[in-house]
Amino acid sequence: MKVINVAIDGPAGAGKSTISRKAAAELGFIYIDTGALYRTVGLNALRKGADINDPQSVIATLTDELKVELRFIDGEQRMFLCGEDVSDKIRTPEVSSAASKTSAVPEVRKFLFDLQKQLAKENNCIMDGRDIGTVVLPDADVKIFLTATPEARAERRYKELKEKGMDVKYEDVLSDMIKRDYDDSHRAIAPLKQADDAVLADTSDIDLQQSIDLIIKIIKDRI
């Protein structure tokens, strides 16, 4: 039976994971968050004491013993590192930064490539990331590039952090967002960019529910 693959790429803070998760639930597809895979490899490198800024040191952590697994528990993706559930541990700022740096190492991307391909081959899915429509699933049935202005994304992230009781300044969140955009779209390997055949969805001026409805409509119109 042919499976349906939807690729959603876009910059940090565009709401990809929340929107993709809800759209997948509505369509009865599984949702695969590929950022979590990079985060798990980043966590492993930190735990192994690698120098995150040194590609060779990171490559040395990609051993035969390294097992990165994705399991679905009650429909939710959980990440396992050598059998340990690390789904919460990969969400710290330290791991975000490690994932950002280690994901620029070609060997890390190669290490995770087959796993992503296999998951897509076996499941109707929405897979989100930075290079899904361009590199991982160039033949995806639907490709969406989900974005919003840096200001809109920073505003949302700022509100989220404030609600968590964190003491942050909007200007810092915005400059961090602009820096991450630059790093993600200027790296030598698999940079963030819209695939030629991707539909552009800009959520700057619409709320979360409208964004979910828009993505579901784009997908339903094409499958």
Q: Which residues bind ligand DC (CB under 6 A)?
A: 12, 34-35, 38-39, 99-100, 103, 129-132, 184
Distances (CA, A) of 118 to 126, 191, 209: 14, 22, 31
* Cβ proximity to ligand DC, 12 vs 144, nearer residue: 12
* Cβ proximity to ligand DC, 185 vs 217, nearer residue: 185
SS3 85: strand
* Cβ proximity to ligand DC, 51 vs 220, nearer residue: 51
SS (H, E, C) the chain: CCCCEEEEECCCCCCHHHHHHHHHHHHCCEEEEHHHHHHHHHHHHHHCCCCCCCHHHHHCCCCCCCCEEEEEECCEEEEEECCEECCCHHHCHHHHHHHHHHCCCHHHHHHHHHHHHHHHHHCCEEEEECCHHHHHCCCCCEEEEEECCHHHHHHHHHHHHHHCCCCCCHHHHHHHHHHHHHHHHHCCCCCCCCCCCCEEEECCCCCHHHHHHHHHHHHHHHC
CB of 134 to ligand DC, least distance (A): 10
CB of 103 to ligand DC, least distance (A): 3
* Cβ proximity to ligand DC, 12 vs 27, nearer residue: 12
CB of 1 to ligand DC, least distance (A): 26
CB of 99 to ligand DC, least distance (A): 4
CB of 95 to ligand DC, least distance (A): 9
The pairing of strands 142-147 and 5-9 is parallel
* Cβ proximity to ligand DC, 137 vs 212, nearer residue: 137
CB of 108 to ligand DC, least distance (A): 9
* Cβ proximity to ligand DC, 86 vs 221, nearer residue: 86
Structure tokens at 160: 């989220």
